Structure 1
Amino acid sequence: MGASWARPTGVRLRLPCRRVRPDAPRPARRGVPRRGRQAWPVRTRSRGAALPGQRISRPSDAEPAWLGRGPPFYWRRSVEARHPRESAVRQLVKTSSSGDFAHQKQAALRLYVQELLTEALGRNVVVTVLRSDPIKVPSLFPADVLSVSLADGTELSLFVKHLGAEQADHPDKQYRCREVRIYEVLLRDVGLPVARYYGSRWNVATQRRDVYLEYVPDWSLKYTDLEHWPTAARRLAQLQGYFAARPEQLLACDFLLRLDAGYFHAWAGRALSAVVSRLPDLARGLEGIVASYSRVAELLERQPITLVHNDLAPKNVVADRSCTPARICLVDWEMAGVGCGLLDLVHLKYGLGPRPDSQMRAAYCAELAGSGLLPTRPRELKRLFAACEVHQTMCRLAYFATWHTPAERVAQWVREAEQWLAGI
Structure 2
Amino acid sequence: MAKQKIVLAYSGGLDTSVLLSWIKDTYDAEMIAFCANIGQEDELKGLEKKAKQTGASKIYIDDLQDEFAADFIYPMMQAGAIYEGQYFLGTSIARPLIAKRMVEIAKKEGATAIGHGATGKGNDQVRFELTTAALAPDLEIIAPWRDERFRNEFPGRAEMIAYCAEKKIPVQASAKKPFSMDRNLLHISYEAGILEDPWFDAGDKKNKDYFTVLSVFPEDAPDKAEYVTLDFVKGNCVAVNGKELSPLKVMQVLNKLGGKHGVGRVDMVENRFVGMKSRGVYETPGGAILHFAHRQIESLTMDREVMHLRDSLIPKYAELVYNGFWYAPERLAIQALVTESQKNVTGTVRVKLFKGGIHAAGRKSPVSLYNPHIATMEADPTKAYNQDDATGFIRLNGLRLRVNSQVNGAKNLGSVGKAK
- Higher RCO, 1 vs 2 (CA within 8 Å, ≥6 residues apart): 2
TM-score for the superposition, normalised by structure 2: 0.24
Whose strand fraction is larger, Structure 1's or Structure 2's? Answer: 2
Which structure has the larger Rg? 1
